[in-house]
Structure 1
Amino acid sequence: MAQASTTLAEDLRGLFRGMLRVDAVARRLYARDASIFEVEPQAVAIPQDADDLAVLLKYCQEHQLPVTARGAGTGLAGESVGAGVIVDLSVHFQAIRQIASDSVTVEAGVRYAALAAALAEQGRRLAPDPASGDVCTIGGMIATNASGSNLYRHGYIRDYVQELEVLWDNGESARLISPAARPCPLKRGESGETGVRPAAPPAAEGPRTADIRRGVTELLSAHRHLIACRPTATPYDRCGYRLDDVWTPAGVDLARLLVGSEGTLGLVTAARLRTIPLPGGCAMLLLGFASLEAAVRAGSDCRRFPLTACDLLDQRLLSLRRRPAHPGALAIPPSVAAALLVTIEADSPEQALERGWGLANTLCSAAGAVLLAEPSCDPQQQARMRAVRQEAVRGLYALGPGPRPLPGIEDLGVPAEELPAFIAALLELLQRREVTAALLIHLLTGQVHLRPLLDLEQPQDRVRLWTLAEEVHTLVLRLGGTVSTQHGVGWARTPWVERQVGPLYPLYRELKRIFDPRHLLNPGKIVGPDPSREAWPLYEPLPPPNPPPLSANGRRPLPLVFDAAAAAEAARCSRCGDCRTHQLPQRMCPLFRIAELELAAPRAKAELFRLLHNHPPRPEDLDALTQIADWCFLCEMCRLECDVHVDVPRLMLELKGQLHAVEGPRRFEWFLSRLDFWAAWGSRLAPLSNFLLRRRLFRWLLEKLTGLSRHRRLPRFARPSFFRWARRQGLTEHPPAAARGRFAYFVDLYAAYHDPSLAEAVVAVLRHHGSAVYVPPRQRSAGLGPWSAGDLEAFRELARHNVRLLAECVRDGYHIVCSEPTAALLLRRYYPLLLDDPEARLVAEHTQELTTLLVHWQQQGLLREDFQPLPWHVAHHTPCHLKALGGPAATATLLERVPALRVEPLEAGCSGMAGLWGQHAAALPLSLQVAQPLAAALSAARATLTTSECSACRLQLQHLTGYRSFHPVQLLALAYGLLPALQPRLSLPLPLSPLLSE
């Protein structure tokens, strides 16, 4: 495979303008999506536009290379997994071309959430609402004919497609307009009941398009009676190619035929979709039942009401969130064995509420339901109700190692009247097979999402899953149901398509031949399973840990060894794709938002460790591994916002450390590892060091030597340092006991050598509250520089020194306080991880971040409020590392206690500074791209000051605004009247940055 991939790359050099990855790391990371299947491709292609994709398709046809289109990779059926070339359309095909009064034209890579936000500004929406809407793409929705929980009311996306732009297997482009979007009345004497009247081909229709249209017309005309006579037990069947409404009086609707074909007939690059108005009113309610059977039987009563969605959660799901996840969350009584979450859309809120109460009264009296949450149109109350479902589903993925909820047979559908019988038979089957499962049922449509809890690392469970799938699908088909209603066919359900569609299956094969005679478009899906592959190509389990193989001379070719613990942590990732979100205020992986590449997503970084455990890396993998390591600046947001809390930052730190040990430090990493030295000597040599930093030639030389960007506004060095001031003030001597306790202040570099007024403010505010403050005299930096550079040996050396010093303080009765969130994070989280020392754990348990401590005092009524008014407008940015500490990021509420101080929290994502990463010359453009939402929020806020707990974030705020930024404790000290010398700095102009001045 490697040789074929190299040949492909050489052949396309100069022809294909997009990114083409043929390295083993990229190929293996694209071998999976959100499903349980894995097939390694020969290459990964990221075309820049449709013309670029056409070049690739033409080459693949000439060289017999399969092509599989991929969007966000959130499919549960493995429809975007395949051999040959994976074409990632989620990176560049992201234009919303036009929003008209009742339609929208978008490219295939546009995210549903981005489109929904743009349409909402016009009072419109796209009717289907897929569960993965935050991250899935419109092209992926069209490929799988997506719907959502509102399928009962709004149908599938194929009902809203008006026009498609597609590429055929030979690279020819076509523009397919649905006759439903442009009615074409029949001529007198013509009838659509006896055949298909071919529509006049458009003038620009190419030869391949004409051949396809002709072949489809002849095929459907010859078998129109077979198509019409096929019984459809449920209207929510999307298994295979939908043929029943493709031939129309105006001609064959090729656009409608392609929707739901999963890229097996052609590749969709853009679409025009019909939109609908936002609902005039929307109400939600939550009902509980004493048994699952009672809740299922209530479905007949629900269908008598004009509902939009009605989701049933079984006891397994509810048990995962019995305890509310946060204050204000809805509590579910233990007596409730099933719950119904009901959504009602109407022309007005009053009408929606009236229907909601009508349903509630009916089910409470006739079905014995309990009203867990009253019908409400309030967005906050609806969010609490939706959280019941979200937290329950997320709880499944957070079960840890061992049996986990598996997709694969989760897309079942039976006629509504058969649903009670199906559920009873299904429960009996699960009990007989001794399989635990979770059920989420859409009562209105008869859709059942079944997730058995099995462990695919165990060979016996891999067999059990296939056996269970066979029995469940047999049961569904016996009841006249379908094996696919919502999540696609893919690898998961292709083995049962022929059994379901029966005599139509030969037509499917012929359709495939017409569109794709060489079987190169997503082969093995829907029709034509590859006999050389197993029916279910399940992902590769973790093998027992083995050392990497030795080379001929007895030395390992690439000494990167990742233990089983790291692989097990990586295996906890469910690959759901939620980490690909761009939605604010979530901060999930700021670098992925810029790179847009799957290899930059947190799930790929987790998957990398599973792959490295299964396939020890080779020397040729080094560049790809380094690139992935560089796509993580350890902001910790993926760990915090992931439903499973997979510790991707810890894994990436291990990768950075091993690469640093193998490759040695690069220029900027060498500079970071010696940050203590540079900061201390910069302070000692001030003002000379500050004079040199203002010189353009010196900054240019500094960039060439260290990689530190000459376009950044670098902080001035202070002389004397805070440590000298602290010695003069007696702070380095142990103080006596105090009423509010004793605190050992861990200062860290910025407050010590760049802004001593910050450290002075910390001391003053703590003393103002009756606390004694001690500054340990021999403390060194927390280790941000070597930690972010991956120099783990230097980091451990700093950590051991600080732990010995601070553990002694803890034993003497001190609590450790940090004004720098990153320092608190390193002391509390990474010191115990990397040292595995009881003293490190002791230090971690007694370390607090300063503003978190003050907020805690405020909540307990212990914060002094003898403030003087501060008549300013302040915009506050919460750093990522403060969020990562897990405490209440409520500094804005703390500042709001100051009279006349107007505080505006900025919920605009990451600042893009990431410690010193944003100071790197190579990272500067990316850093500013990450900060674009923050810059827009700052511009809208029009504040006179900015605040943030993180020194690096304050540097970015200063770079973006051109005025000074402060730590919140500095404003508190001013309000307490403790640091009058700080007052003049608030009005001093900030010198222009080198970037602006040049």
Structure 2
Amino acid sequence: MPNDKALDALSSFLGDRFSTSKGVLEAHAQSETFVTAPPPEGVAFPETTEEVTEIVRICAEHDCPVIGWGAGTSLEGHALALRGGVTVDFSRMNKILAIDVEDMNAIVQPGVTREELNHELRATGLFFPVDPGANATLGGMAATRASGTTAVRYGTMRDNVKALEVVLADGRVIRTGTKARKSSTGYDLTGLMVGSEGTLGLMTELTLRLQAQPEATSAAVCAFETIDQAIATAMTTIQMAIPMARIELLDGTGVAAVNAYSKTSLPECAHLLVEFHGSETSVKEDAERFGEIAEEFEAKSFDWATRQEDRTRLWAARHNAYWALQAYKPSTTGFSTDICVPISKLGQAIADTNKALEEADFIASIIGHVGDGNYHVNMFVDVSDPVQKEQAKAQAEGMAERALKLGGTVSGEHGIGFGKLKFMRQEHGDAWDVMGQIKRTLDPQNIMNPGKMVPGN
């Protein structure tokens, strides 16, 4: 094996926290979709920043690739070992280091999951708002610049990471950002690292912005005869500046799958799932205004969920939509892709996608964070059928092309990995070359997650 010396050195350093067993390697070659790559050559399980530093130093000495691993829930092959090397699994770096209630910050290691953090925050009156659905690690969420259902109000990981500790490719440990709410000093290295997908360094500590639990919360499910009516309602709501905490779209196929999986009984047509946060008065007023808009676009039904258990059940059903669709077509493999377009172009983008999907030989569903113009298509494909696989790839590429023509981006949430690398030049032009120059400056050996994100990598 080309990296035997690095593997031997890491085994001596970490002992039984370094594995080359077949089962462990194969577990770190899994993807949530059919994007595939060979297993890594070894998996390291560090517990401290100092250990991560030594792992990277050893790998740099032997020109061995280093790939970060969180919960393994990424969708574009971000954490797969394209060129072999060592996967650094952060599951043992899972400590909440500090919670500062007065300044509304939390300091965590990268292996802490968002659900673990919010469980710990319950008694403080604070919460961490970024909710991608999966119980992803916060380090992985930062590395992929995750967002989710609440981004329309609270922003993405870019808006909620204040500071980082990062191990660079040469073993240096740097700190970016501060606990302060803002800064105007120097380059924004925190912003550079968030979304870099492990190609510039490994995050070993994150300082996160917390939010106050709202005084009142209300949610609703709203059914429409057509998906166009649902989209028009969402677009009008956002354009009228009604402060939604969440506004999610499910098409009829998605609703049918959710009903079967989560034992709900929603009408099998397009739905908006909405949530409002604020004071008792503001939530009531915002909900009433939304109801008027929904009525204007001929909503079929409008059901409120004000009790905590009802809201929990509602959003659990939404978050389980991917698995519901997988269970709806159990002999298939899921392939999920996303794009993001300006709000004014959302209706056109989804209509064009729906029309294209009518010609596919597989089941598919559109699910959207429509409050910020981001939507997903979940395609469930028989991977033994080469025609279906090619159709799925063509559908994903068609979505990306449409997004760029409409002034959008090929991914609002899933990221690039190597699944969407081919579109980076088209979206960014010469700026993509600048990304490559930054990569080569910080990682001249190209050991940090090679094959992802930038040109010539």
TM-score normalised per structure 1: 0.44
Q: 1:836 matched to which residue of 2?
A: none
1:275 aligns with 2:202: no
- 2:297 is aligned to 367
Q: What is the 5 A alignment of 1:302-701?
A: 302-303=237-238, 304=240, 305-322=242-259, 325-326=262-263, 329=264, 331-334=265-268, 337-346=269-278, 348-364=279-295, 366-374=296-304, 376-390=305-319, 392-407=321-336, 410-528=337-455
Task: Classify the secondary structure of the residue corresponding to 1:170.
Answer: coil
Q: Where does structure 1 differ by over 6 angstroms across 4 or more consecutive aligned residues?
A: none
Offset of residue 173 of structure 1: 1.1
Whether contact under 8 Å (2:3, 2:85) holds in the other structure is no
Deviation, structure 1 residue 16: 3.4
1:44-193 correspondence to structure 2 within 5 Å: 44-82=43-81, 83-90=84-91, 92-100=92-100, 101=102, 102-132=104-134, 135-178=135-178, 181=181, 183=183
Partners of 1:98 and 1:69 lie apart in 2 by 23
Q: 1:352 corresponds to which letter in structure 2?
A: V
Separation (CA, whole Å) in 2 of partners of 1:474 and 1:147: 22
Q: How far, CA to CA, are the matches of 2:95 and 2:421 in structure 1?
A: 33
The offset of 1:513, in angstroms, is: 0.8
Secondary structure at the aligned position of 1:386 is classed as helix
Residues 16-36 of structure 1: CA deviation (Å, up to 9, x unaligned)? 356111233322221123232
Give distance in 2, aligned partners of 1:345 and 1:67.
42
Q: Quote the offset at 1:483 in angstroms.
A: 0.9
State how far apart, in whole Å, the 2-side matches of 1:485 and 1:452 are: 18
- SS across alignment from 1:118: helix
Quick check: 1:360–1:371 contact (8 Å CA) kept in 2? no
One-letter identity of the residue aligned with 1:106: V
Report percent identity of matched pairs. 28
Distance 1:23 1:299, change over 3 A: same
Q: Kindly tell me: are residues 387 and 10 of structure 1, through their superposed partners in 2, closer, same or farther at Cα, counting changes over 3 Å?
A: closer
What is the alpha-carbon distance in structure 2 between the residues aligned to residue 511 and residue 282 of structure 1? Answer: 43
Letter of the 2:284 counterpart: L
Q: Any idea what SS the aligned residue of 2:107 has? A: strand
* Counterpart-to-counterpart distance in 2, 1:308 and 1:421: 24
User: Quick one: which of 16, 23, 28 aligns to 2:26?
Assistant: 28
Select the residue among 297, 300, 312 that pairs with 2:235.
300
Q: Once the 2 structures are TM-superposed, how far is the Cα of residue 300 of structure 1 from its aligned partner?
A: 2.5
Residue identity in the other structure for 2:165? E
Name the CA distance, whole Å, in 2 between partners of 1:322 and 1:159.
34
Q: Distance in 2 between matches of 1:268 and 1:142?
A: 9
Where structure 1 has 5 or more consecutive residues not aligned to the other structure, the ranges are: 184-248, 531-998
Deviation at 1:314, TM superposition (A): 0.2
Q: Secondary structure at the match of 1:482?
A: coil
In structure 2, the CA distance between the partners of 1:182 and 1:150, relative to structure 1 (3 Å rule), is: closer
The CA distance in 1 between the partners of 2:46 and 2:367, in whole Å, is 38
**What secondary structure is seen at the aligned counterpart in 1 of 2:12?**
coil
Q: Which has the higher strand share?
A: 2
SS at match of 2:368: strand
Matched to 2:251, the amino acid is: D
| Pair 486,24 (structure 1): closer, same or farther in 2 beyond 3 Å | same
Post-superposition Cα deviations, 1:333-363, rounded to whole Å, max 9, x if no partner, equal: 35xx2011001111x2343133212211331
- 2:190 match: 255
Measure, in 2, the Cα distance between the counterparts of 1:398 and 1:324: 7
Greater alpha carbon shift after TM alignment, 431-440 vs 63-72: 431-440
Query: Aligned equivalents of 2:444 and 2:320: distance in 1?
Result: 46
- The AA in structure 2 aligned to 1:312 is L
Q: Which amino acid aligns with 2:250?
A: L
Contact 2:125–2:212 (CA under 8 A) maintained in structure 1: yes
Q: How does 1:827-976 map to 2 (within 5 A)?
A: none
SS state of the match for residue 339, structure 1? strand
Answer yes or no: is the 8 Å Cα contact 1:161–1:178 preserved in 2: no
- For residues 181 and 235 of structure 2, what CA distance do their matches in structure 1 show? 35
How many residue pairs align between the two structures?
A: 450
* Equivalent residues of 2:436, 2:456 under 8 A apart: no
Distance 1:323 1:109 in 2: 33
Deviations 1:14-56 (A, max 9, x none): 3335611123332222112323222221111111211111111
8 Å CA contact retained: 2:158, 2:194: yes
Other structure's SS at 1:517 match: coil
CA contact (8 A) 1:283 1:349 kept: no
Structure 1 residues 529, 24: closer, same or farther in 2, change over 3 A?
farther
Whole-Å separation in 2 of the counterparts to 1:24 and 1:5: 16
Whole-angstrom CA distance in 2 between matches of 1:358 and 1:488? 34
Q: Could you tell me the TM-score, scaled by structure 2's length?
A: 0.93
Opposite residue 309 of structure 1, the aligned amino acid is R
**Can you list the C-alpha shifts for 1:857-906, whole angstroms capped at 9, x where unaligned?**
xxxxxxxxxxxxxxxxxxxxxxxxxxxxxxxxxxxxxxxxxxxxxxxxxx
Residue in structure 2 matched with residue 12 of structure 1 by the alignment: 10
Letter in structure 1 aligned against 2:60: Q
1:406 alignment partner, SS class: strand
Report the secondary structure of 2:328's partner residue: coil
Q: Give the Cα separation in 1 of the matches to 2:313 and 2:342.
A: 31
Contact 2:329–2:380 (CA under 8 A) maintained in structure 1: no
Q: Return the offset for 1:386.
A: 2.7
Preserved contact between residue 284 and residue 342 of structure 1 (Cα < 8 Å):
yes
Question: With CA pairs under 8 Å and 6+ residues apart, which has the higher RCO, 1 or 2?
Answer: 2
**1:98–1:106 Cα contact (<8 Å) kept:** yes
Counterpart amino acid of residue 159 in structure 2: D
Distance (whole Å) between structure 2 residues aligned to residue 469 and residue 391 of structure 1: 22
Aligned position for 2:224: 289
Q: What's the CA shift string for 1:809-843, capped at 9, x where partnerless?
A: xxxxxxxxxxxxxxxxxxxxxxxxxxxxxxxxxxx
TM-aligned CA distance change 1:481 to 1:173, over 3 Å: same
- Determine the C-alpha separation between the residues in 2 that align with 1:500 and 1:271: 29
Q: Distance in 2 between matches of 1:392 and 1:352?
A: 27
1:216 maps to none
How far is the alpha carbon of 1:428 from its aligned partner?
Answer: 1.8
Whole-angstrom CA distance in 2 between matches of 1:507 and 1:391: 39
Indicate if the aligned counterparts of 2:255 and 2:267 stay in contact, CA closer than 8 A: no
Give the corresponding residue for 1:699: none
